[in-house]
Amino acid sequence: MQKYSMLTLLTIPIFLSSCDKNSDREELNSQNFIPMDVGNLWVYQTVQELSDGSFVMNEEHDSVQIVGTEVIDGLTFYKFESTFPPGEFFRRNDNGSLLDETNNIYFSTSDEEGIFWTQDIKAGSEPILKIEYRMMADLEEVNVPSGVYEARITVGSVTPYESFQENYDCDKSIKRYFVPHIGEVKREEHFASSCTSLNRKLVSFDLK
């Protein structure tokens, strides 16, 4: 019979715990949530829920595709073409967070005092809404046309700037569901100026 010392037995659970933590850190790496390869394509179905509780389905699917790269101010950005908005540029910083062409964080898994990233929504050049995103610790099962997934949820708390306060009737939040190595599979987004909402679900994807 092989014998083990008490030190060896005590080391095994510590090693396993360390492996679990490393696995969690790897899974929560920002790079895993939005795969960045030219040619990647995601297709979504959108359904609008009106203030009276009725639903309107968009007959045309929305698509998002990485169509190429472009150098801006010496930095390489990936160009995302989509139905709406028409085109955006993103790059990764050293910790894997996604930044737009103005170097504002678009997606991150780095937790700073509970807030993962902040996004300003603008009307022209004027910011009208501030969204503070937090990633929930628990996974949630999500059933969308492309499949059933265990997803990480980011919840965006929406705060209107003073100039837009009088036009903001509904205190709503934004939920975005991400699956590692696939991307965003679902989004629940509420409009600021009315009590309607938009649900976007992943129909299909093609990752290179």
Cα 97–Cα 191–Cα 90 angle in degrees, nearest 5: 20
List per-block mean pLDDT (blocks of 10 residues) for the chain, which spans 208 residues. Answer: 41 39 51 87 83 60 89 89 75 82 77 68 76 84 94 84 64 83 88 68 93
CATH number 2.30.240 given to 6-26+33-206? no
Residues facing 35 on adjacent strands = none
Both structure tokens of 182:
């696939």
d(CA 121, CA 191): 12
First to last CA, the chain: 51
Residue 24's pLDDT is what? 47
The domain locations on the chain are: 6-26+33-206
pLDDT at 6: 38
Q: What is the pLDDT of residue 32?
A: 77
pLDDT for the residue 30: 66
Contact 122, 128 (CB under 8 A): yes
d(CA 45, CA 76): 30
Query: 184, 181, 179, 182: which is closest to 199 by C-alpha?
Result: 184
H or E element, residue 13: helix 6-27
